[in-house]
Each structure stands twice: as structure tokens, then as C-alpha cells.
């Protein structure tokens, strides 16, 4: 990968809502001809797919399928408590 590579976010990245819960579907170029997929919840917890996708549409389709099949709760992590000792 080129040291100067700056990943480009796909135009297919989007917000997904189910009930009162929202996640962000982020799709980025991987610098090697593929696309990376990440789902980020409202508390910045993220789920990242290990394998890249050939197209950004394949990445989006995978995200939407996973959200529908597993439910949005599977992609929402715990709320991070602030450390009051700092």
C-alpha cells in the first residue's frame, strides 16, 4: 500500500435506522482495489469486516443483509462510561 494513500469513503456509506437505534454504515477504499466495511453505533463502537469486498455495492449489500438478519442490536455495543479519575 502506498504510504501517501488516503482512503476514500464510498458514496454508498449511509445511516441505517431501526426503531430508535441508528448506526452508520461506512465503506472505504482499501488501497488495494477493494472496499472495507465498518458499522459504527451512536457510541462509536464499531464492527469491522476482516475481508474486503470487490465492489462498494457488495459491501453495502453485506451490511444491509447482516443488519436485517442479525438485527441492529447485534451491532450496538455498550455505552462507554467516562473515567472520572482523569
For the four alpha carbons of 47, 53, 59 and 65, in that order, the dihedral sign comes to negative
Query: Does 3 reside within a domain?
Result: no
**Tally of structural domains, the chain:** 1
Asked if the structure places residue 2 within a domain, the reply is no
pLDDT of residue 78: 80
In a domain? residue 58: yes
Residue 48 lies inside a defined structural domain of this protein: yes
Closest among 79, 53, 80, 70 to 18, alpha carbons compared: 70
What range does the domain containing 24 cover?
17-75
pLDDT digits (tens, 9 = 90+) for 7-52: 899 999 999 999 999 999 999 999 999 999 999 999 999 999 999 9
Asked whether residue 50 is assigned to any structural domain, the reply reads yes
Tell me which residue of 8, 13, 7, 9 sits closest to 64, measured CA to CA. 13
Q: Is residue 9 part of a domain?
A: no
The number of angstroms, rounded, from the C-alpha of 56 to the middle of its chain's C-alpha atoms is: 12
Amino acid at each position: 500500500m502506498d504510504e501517501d494513500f488516503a482512503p476514500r469513503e464510498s458514496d454508498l456509506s449511509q445511516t441505517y435506522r431501526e426503531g430508535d437505534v441508528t448506526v452508520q454504515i461506512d465503506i472505504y477504499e482499501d488501497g488495494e482495489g477493494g472496499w472495507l466495511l465498518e458499522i459504527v453505533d451512536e457510541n462509536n463502537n464499531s464492527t469491522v469486516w476482516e475481508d474486503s469486498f470487490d465492489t462498494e455495492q457488495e459491501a453495502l449489500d453485506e451490511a444491509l443483509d447482516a443488519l436485517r438478519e442479525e438485527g441492529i442490536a447485534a451491532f450496538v455495543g455498550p455505552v462507554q462510561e467516562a473515567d472520572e479519575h482523569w
